Structures are given as C-alpha cells and as structure tokens.
Structure 1
Amino acid sequence: MAIEIDAALPADWEGVVALWEAVGLTRPWNDARADFDLALAGPASTILLAREGAALRGTVMVGFDGHRGWVYYLGVDPACRDAGIGRALMQASEQWLTARGCPKIQLMVRGSNAEARGFYEALGYDVQDVVTIGRRLDGRG
C-alpha cells in the first residue's frame, strides 16, 4: 500500500503523540499535546502525517516564523524505517514552506543523535555554525 501525506486534524492528536513517545521525541518538560494543539492553531504551522491506509507511519511538525522554516517532531514508526517515509515527510515539509515563500529551512538535532544527523546530511542538510541559546518561560525544566 502507498504512503499518503496529509495535514493532521485535531482528532489525530492521540495517535500522533503516541508515535512521538514511541520514537523518543518527547521530553518530560515539554507538553506534547500542547505542542500538537499549538501547531494546528494558526496558519504559520502544521503537522504532516504519513499514512498507509488508516495506519499512521510518520509525522513532522513544520512552521514558518516569517524568516525561516522550522522542522520538529520528525518521527517514523520503527517498523517502517528505511522505507523512504522520513524523506517523503521532509520533501512535504519543504513544499509546505516553499508555498509560503519561506527561503530557508532549519531544524535542531541533539548532538548525540548521529543517526538523525546522518539522515539529514543524506538529504543535503549541513551542520551550521550556530549556537542555540534558550531560556524556558513556563517554569518547567
């Protein structure tokens, strides 16, 4: 069966968050359900889903801040890895951003995640000389 990519709907939250948890994308200090809801709340972001029939096989959150496009929560069902689903989700993310006039796409990968870094390098992404500086505003973590 072929993989189809479409935008998530509010009713998809449970399956999406379950996949994020299954592949290790969530962290205790982040509220994945709130992330899901916020991504669907406005026109500047969305969550794209890769489905095989009714089965959820992968997800990616994509957004445009007016200057750069960002990718978060790219995850593929471990049983479906190496089937091109991650690549297809990244291509769909690039198309979504291009349609909104976005000139550049960025993402963050944990430094210890060599597998993810290799995946993105194979897609033509490169490590940039940027330091990420942040501060929590919600009092968690």
Structure 2
Amino acid sequence: MKIRLFKEQDREPVISLWRACGLTRPWNDPDSDISRKLAVQPELFFVGEIESKVVASAMAGYDGHRGSVFYLAVSSEYQNRGFGRLLMQTVEDALKSLGCPKLNIVVRSSNEAVLDFYRHLGYTPDDVVSVGKRLIPDG
C-alpha cells in the first residue's frame, strides 16, 4: 500500500470507504468533514492506495497540545495485512515531526475490534470522559 496526501479526486472514494467501514453518522456529513479538513492542516489527511484504488484513510490534527486521529479506515478486503498499522505509523511520524507529545483517539466504546487494534499498537485507555457539543449542524 502506498500512503500519500489526500487529493480532491479522492473525495468520493474516501466517503465510500468511510460508509463501507461504518464510520459515518447522520449528524456528521462526510463531505463537509472533508472540506473542513482541507481548510485546516490538509497535510495531515492521508490516504492509502493499491493499484490507484483508495483502500485506506486517516484524518489527523494537532492543536499544539495533543494530536488526534479520526476516520482511520481500511477497506474490509485489505484488513489484517498491516495497512492500518502502517497508516497509524505515518500519522504518528507526521505528528512527532510537528512536536506533538501525545496522540488521543476517540473510539466508540462498543467497537471492541477497533479498541483491540489500538491496544496492539500500544494505546491504552485514558481515565477521561469525552464530551461534545455541536456548534454547526450538518445537513
């Protein structure tokens, strides 16, 4: 798998990937999420491709204090081949190069497979509760 920065022609394949991986929610418009990411730190939006086909993605950010990653996805036909690990290593390296001391990842508590994936990469649960408030409604 080749990892590179997101290009505009990746928009529909990435959205399709996110939908296939069950990452989209009715209250988050994926097209708007991509546009927002392209306006802020587009250099932290990665895709993985095989034979010119988008098969993976990761959208990262760094606020000067902590890093984050969202929309980490690997197409089901390419899972369990180390591509998610490779993509996360790319994200970690990019964040380290910016001086990021810690990466926080939000995972739905019911998603045991993804929690196991991150545990295998050395991530541990933090003793925190994630809270949120919608500032701009999508849709």
TM-score (norm 1): 0.93
Task: Tell me if 1:80 matches 2:59.
Answer: no
In the TM superposition, residue 138 of structure 1 has moved relative to its aligned partner by 2.3
Query: Counterpart of 2:72 in structure 1: which amino acid?
Result: L
Q: Which residue number in structure 1 is paired with residue 61 of structure 2?
A: 63
Aligned residues: 139
CA deviations 1:10-66 (Å, max 9, x no partner) are 221111111001110000110101111111223376321111120111111111111
CA–CA distance in structure 2, aligned partners of residues 20 and 139 of structure 1:
20
After TM superposition, list the pairs within 5 Å mapping 1:31-110 onto structure 2. Answer: 31-43=29-41, 46-110=44-108
User: Given that residues 60 and 69 in structure 2 are in contact (C-alpha distance below 8 angstroms), is that contact kept between their aligned partners in structure 1?
Assistant: yes
Structure 1 residues 140 and 55: CA distance shift in structure 2, 3 A: closer
Paired position in structure 2 for 1:15:
13
What is the CA–CA distance in structure 1 between the aligned matches of 2:43 and 2:122, rounded to whole Å?
23
CA pair 45-106 structure 1, distance change in 2 beyond 3 A = farther
The structure-2 alpha-carbon separation of the partners of 1:128 and 1:45, relative to structure 1 and needing over 3 Å to count, comes to farther
In structure 2, give the amino acid aligned to 1:68.
R
TM-superposition CA deviations, 1:91-123 (whole Å, max 9, x none): 000011011111110110000000000000000
List runs of 5+ in structure 1 lacking aligned partners. Answer: none
- Percent of residue pairs identical: 41
Distance 2:132 2:108 in 1: 14
User: Quick check: 39-48 or 58-67, which moved more?
Assistant: 39-48
Contact 1:10 1:37 (8 Å CA) reproduced: no
Structure 2 unmatched runs, 5+? none
State the 1:140 CA deviation.
Answer: 5.7
Runs of 4 or more above 6 Å deviation: none
- Using the size of structure 2 for normalisation, the TM-score is 0.94
More helix by share: 2
Cα RMSD after superposing both structures: 1.5
